[in-house]
Every structure is written in C-alpha cells, then in structure tokens.
Amino acid sequence: MKTSDQIIEEWLVINCQAGDRKAFELLVKRWNPKMLGRVYHATKDVAASKDIVQEAWIVIIKKIKTLRDPGAFQGWSLRIATRMAIDWIRSNQVNRKREEIRKQVQVEFAEKSRHPNEEILNDLKVAIKQLPEEQQTVIQLFYQESLSIITIGGLLNLPVGTIKSRLFRGREYLKSILENKLYENEKE
C-alpha cells in the first residue's frame, strides 16, 4: 500500500508530465534538498553541487515525459543527478591532473630560467624566430634593446595598446613553446 507521500509525489510527476509548472515547482521544492545532499556527498564541493543539481533539474524537466512509472521518480531523478556528479568528478580529476602538470612544468622552467644554460638560450632564440614578425620585433625591442612600451609605440608608429597586446601574445606563445619543450624533455 502506498503512503500519502508516495501518492502526492506520483500526482506531482503526472502533472509535471502534463506541463503543470506549479507541480514542477513543488517537485523541485520537495526533492532539491535530497538531491543536493546526494550530489554533495559525491563531490564534497558546495558550489559544484548546486550547479550540478541545477543542471540535473534541467535534464529532468526535459525528460520527465519519458518516465513511464511516476512512482519511480525518486530513483530516476537521483540517478540523473548522481551520474552528473560522477561526470563532474571525472572531469575535475582530469583538470586537476593537467593543472598539477602545468604547475610542475612552470616551477621547473622557473628553476632553469634562474640559471639559464646554453640549451635554454638556444631554445628561446629558436622560439622567438617562430613568432610572427610583428611580435618578434616588439619582443626584441622590449627585451634586447630595453625600450619602453611608449618608445616602441613611437618607433613603430603604433598605439601603446597594440604594443602591449603584441608583447602579451608574444610572451604567451614563447611560454607555451618553452613549457612544451620542457615537458617533452621531462618525458624523455
């Protein structure tokens, strides 16, 4: 025999399937705390749990009409949220691993940069030559000639903002080339 809570829940699900917005709001109010608790238990991250549950509700509202047994809503909805939490955990693990590798490479690069050897200087020269001509010029004037951004702008007849962006893009490109080189050397 079904309890009154189960009957109410099934009634809300049936009305949601019929497009009743108020029934959906009541269903969310009823299940959101439980779903949030389940997701938080998996992720241990409050902000991520809230985001995941919100995304889960979006999936639920889109797919609720496919639910054949309104009495199965609890398990069905919690499975959706749990799977989304697992996906988040997997994605987060990959991102954390990438971030750890990136930080390690940066630390190693910084260590080697303090005591530049011939190989690093050669790698840097090769990397500079790979830059687009406009970035090469700005990098060389700024670092080799020790000219200010304003002076470089006047010399090249370009706005200061353009010089800054070329310098930034050049640095970023050099950093990525050298980090990749360092990472490849570590793998060998």
d(CA 166, CA 40): 44
3-state secondary structure of 133: helix
Domains of the chain, start order: 4-95 (1.10.1740.10), 116-187 (1.10.10.10)
Give the pLDDT mean for 129-148. 88
User: What pLDDT digit, counting tens, does each position of 82-134 carry?
Assistant: 999 999 888 888 777 777 887 887 777 676 666 556 777 777 788 888 888 88
User: Can you tell me which residue has the tokens 């439980």?
Assistant: 34
**DSSP 8-state assignment for residue 70:** G
Q: Are 140 and 174 in contact (CB under 8 A)?
A: no
- pTM of the full predicted structure? 0.50
23/142 Cα distance (integer angstroms): 65
pLDDT digits (tens, 9 = 90+) for 150-163: 999 888 899 999 99
Both structure tokens of 85:
């939490």
